[in-house]
Structure 1
Amino acid sequence: MIKKYFAALSATALIGVAPYAMAASSTDLTVTGIITPKACAPSLSDGGMVDVGKVQATDLLPTQYTRVGSHPMQLTVACDASTLFALNGIDNKAGTSSSNQYFGLGLTSNNEKIGYFTPSIQSALADGQPVHSIRSIDNGASWTRFYQILKDNLTSTSAVGTLIPISVKDLTMELTIYTFIARADSLTLADDVAIDG
């Protein structure tokens, strides 16, 4: 009888301790996310490829940048429904541009910055209507009229004569991609150098 009583008491003690042991070794699981009602897909004509061809080292200006290309390209953004959006220019060759605002063209074998390229906005249509291109350098807090897509800047569109971004379903921008090679006296050009922007 006493053995049964101790066995029952021991079981009760274990059950009483078990919840405290589990609570002391718990952890939180957090699930977050955003349900996006509208999606937008950007695309570039020619697969986003610009080929400046072969550039002769002797054609480069010794103490100034040399423009080696101006290529037309079309940027389109198609959304499921009209929405506010902005383009954010990200340089896939970060740290290689010879100009802080523009996109890099890679490095020579001696780690010299080859040059830069910049997309210039010639015109823009939002849902078939002419619009202005605008940019923000403070993450959308303020906007100015601007004609280029720069890295780490937001680019959007506004109604003609305003600086307030508008909702757009289908955007078309006619661009010109200008490519510049750094001054020749800053580059080692004994061998072929691949332009890689």
Structure 2
Amino acid sequence: MNKTLSALCTALLLTTASPAFAASTDLTVTGVITPSACTPTLSGGGIVDHGKISAKDLRPDNPTALPKLTLQMAVNCDAPVQYYFSPIDHRAGTAWGTSSQFGLGRTNAGEKLGSFMVDALNMRADGVDVQHIASTDGGKTWIKDYWDADNLWAVGAMDDTSMPLRVKDLTLDLRITTQIASTRELTLTDDVLIDGSATLQLKYL
């Protein structure tokens, strides 16, 4: 009997305790496990090599455009899936001229060396022509736009740019346009490495 009473008293004390110091917050863990995986590949190991460039061949008052080079890109998935690319500029803050392009690093004196941009051409998804679309608001909306360094990238139907397509096999050309800043803005007394670097991170919708 005593044990029963003791347990009952404890229960009453717990349930009638003052809530004045109680507080709570919620933790929610979400996500989606997709059965479809995608593998992106770039020709040439994803390397665009302009070789050695003589400083005397660069323009003093305007940026110098280097020859445009093209890589072939493919994305192969287990099944049709919606995805987009989130570009990461590993030389962020070094682009000469505009933040919508990727940086090339800095000279030994700390000057912005130049920039490069990416154009998507000849896009085909599962045997059908498609077009590049982009999001400037973190994926909330999609429009027909260039694949800039500060956008999210995806592919859309030729008659609908409002939503990324579900795609199994995608092929396209990536044309890389590189420019070097005017030499009046650069210290080129020693060799300077053209050091552009970016990652195209594929993310599922």
Q: TM-score range by the shorter chain?
A: 0.7 to 0.9
Is the 1:121–1:176 Cα contact (8 Å) retained in structure 2? yes
Distance, in Å, in 2 between the alignment partners of 1:103 and 1:158 is 24
> Could you tell me how far apart the structure 2 residues matched to 1:39 and 1:140 are?
23
Range moving further from structure 2, 95-104 or 152-161: 152-161
> Where do 1:1-197 residues align within 5 Å?
32-37=29-34, 38-98=36-96, 99-138=98-137, 139-144=139-144, 146=145, 148-164=146-162, 165-197=164-196
Q: Is the 8 A contact 2:133 2:142 kept in 1?
A: no
Aligned residues: 187
TM-score normalised per structure 1: 0.80
1:69 and 1:180 in contact (8 A); partners too: no
Secondary structure at the counterpart of residue 106 of structure 1: coil
| Superposition TM-score, scaled by structure 2 size | 0.77
Runs of 4+ in structure 1 over 4 Å off: none
User: Deviation at 1:185?
Assistant: 0.7
Q: Give identity over the alignment, percent.
A: 40
SS at the partner of 1:47?
helix
- State the SS of the aligned residue for 2:129: strand
**RMSD of aligned Cα (Å):** 2.9
Residue type of the partner of 1:181? I
What amino acid is the match of 2:50?
Answer: V
Segments of structure 2 that go 5 or more residues without pairing to the other structure are 1-24, 197-205
- Which residue identity is paired with 1:117? F
The structure with the larger Rg is: 1
Structure 1 contact 118–179 (Cα < 8 Å) conserved: yes
Superposed CA offset, 1:33-75 (max 9, x none): 5242132222211111011011111111111111123111011
SS of the residue corresponding to residue 89 of structure 1 reads strand
